[in-house]
């Protein structure tokens, strides 16, 4: 396994639902990330947390709300999503922020379908 | 704006041949470049990092080059095997890591 665990692996939700994605890393890393991967498009960085503090929000709509209670856990709370939000949501961690080349360790993602 | 381009067409090669994947970038001067492998339904897995002062890096059957003048990285897999079939992502970085859309490689027996 990768050391980064994401749950659930698959999620189908209606546009009025509220759900949460969970990510846990067992690598002792200090930085955690949320990425969105849509078909045939590059990975899009959504949020970055470093030592539990949010350091980056790439103009993500407020219907996505991240939470990082500690360096090992990261959540993405979802509400009032749109069908175009359907994608693979990937969590990643790294020893520190990627500025010095630290490789990212990814989980296997949550496949989200919004109906 | 910063732009990363990888071969948009899937690459199909015969087992045993060398696969060469291209990553071009514009409006960017990355301090390093990373390559990842992604299998269907899985997250990307880190393979190699090459820094701007390195011309070439090798790891087993993998070789990466980094030409900062051409703004290009080449990723080679020698003696390719069907198990090498996957999508390969390049990610130039330096402050922020930006991913290309990936090139799908298919190695036929």
pLDDT tens per residue across span A50-100 = 988 888 888 899 999 999 999 999 999 999 999 999 999 999 999 987 667
The pLDDT assigned to A57 comes to 86
| pLDDT (tens digit per residue) in B13-47 | 999 999 999 999 998 889 999 999 999 999 999 99
The pLDDT assigned to A9 comes to 97
Chain B residues within 8 A of A36 when measuring between CB atoms: none
Chain B residues within 8 A of A4 when measuring between CB atoms: 43
Q: Tell me if B102 and A92 make a contact (CB, 8 A cut-off).
A: no
3-state secondary structure of B24: strand
The pLDDT assigned to B24 comes to 96
Instruction: Give how far Cα A102 sits from Cα of A28, A30, B48, Å.
Output: 14, 11, 11
Q: Tell me if A101 and B31 make a contact (CB, 8 A cut-off).
A: yes
Report chain B residues touching chain A, CB-CB < 8 A: 4, 31-32, 34, 36, 41-46, 49, 51, 89, 93-102
The pLDDT assigned to B10 comes to 92
Strand B45-51 and strand B32-38: the pairing is antiparallel
Nearest residue in chain B measured CA to CA from A39: B101
The pLDDT assigned to A1 comes to 64
**Measured torsion, CA atoms of residues A48, A51, A55, A61, in degrees rounded to the nearest 10:** 50
Chain B residues within 8 A of A109 when measuring between CB atoms: 41-43
Answer for the pair B4, A67: CB distance below 8 angstroms, yes or no. Answer: no
Chain B closest-CA separation from residue A35 CA (Å): 10
Decide: residue B78, CB within 10 A, 0-12 exposed, 13-18 middle, 19+ buried: middle
The pLDDT assigned to A99 comes to 67
Cross-strand pairs, A57: A47
Cβ-based contacts under 8 A for chains A and B: 51
Residue among B30, B104, B13, B107 at smallest CA distance from B67 = B30
Instruction: Say yes or no: A59 contacts chain B, CB-CB below 8 A.
Output: no
The pLDDT assigned to A101 comes to 83
**Measured torsion, CA atoms of residues B14, B20, B26, B32, in degrees rounded to the nearest 10:** 130
Residue among B70, B6, B65 at smallest CA distance from B38 = B6
Q: Give me the mean pLDDT over the B2-17 stretch.
A: 92
Chain A closest-CA separation from residue B46 CA (Å): 6
Instruction: Give how far Cα B77 sits from Cα of A112, B19, B39, B52, B85, Å.
Output: 33, 5, 16, 21, 11
């Amino acid at each position: 396994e990768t050391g980064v665990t994401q749950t659930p692996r698959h999620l189908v939700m209606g546009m009025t639902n509220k759900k949460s994605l969970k990510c846990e890393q067992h690598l002792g890393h200090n930085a955690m990330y949320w990425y969105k991967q849509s078909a045939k498009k590059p990975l899009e960085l959504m949020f970055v947390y470093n030592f539990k503090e949010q350091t980056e929000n790439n103009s993500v709509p407020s219907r996505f709300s991240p939470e990082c209670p500690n360096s090992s856990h990261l959540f993405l709370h979802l509400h009032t999503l749109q069908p175009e939000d359907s994608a693979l949501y990937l969590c990643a961690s790294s020893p520190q922020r990627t500025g010095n080349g630290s490789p990212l360790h990814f989980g296997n993602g949550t496949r989200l379908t919004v109906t | 704006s910063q732009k990363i381009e990888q071969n948009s067409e899937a690459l199909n090669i015969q087992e045993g041949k060398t696969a060469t994947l291209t990553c071009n970038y514009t409006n960017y001067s990355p301090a390093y470049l990373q390559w990842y492998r992604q299998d269907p339904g899985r997250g990307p897995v880190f393979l190699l990092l090459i820094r701007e002062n390195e011309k070439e890096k090798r790891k087993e059957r993998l070789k990466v080059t980094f030409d900062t003048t051409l703004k290009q990285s080449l990723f080679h897999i020698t003696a390719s095997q069907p198990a090498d079939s996957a999508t390969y992502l390049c990610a130039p970085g330096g402050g922020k890591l930006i991913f290309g859309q990936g090139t799908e490689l298919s190695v036929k027996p």
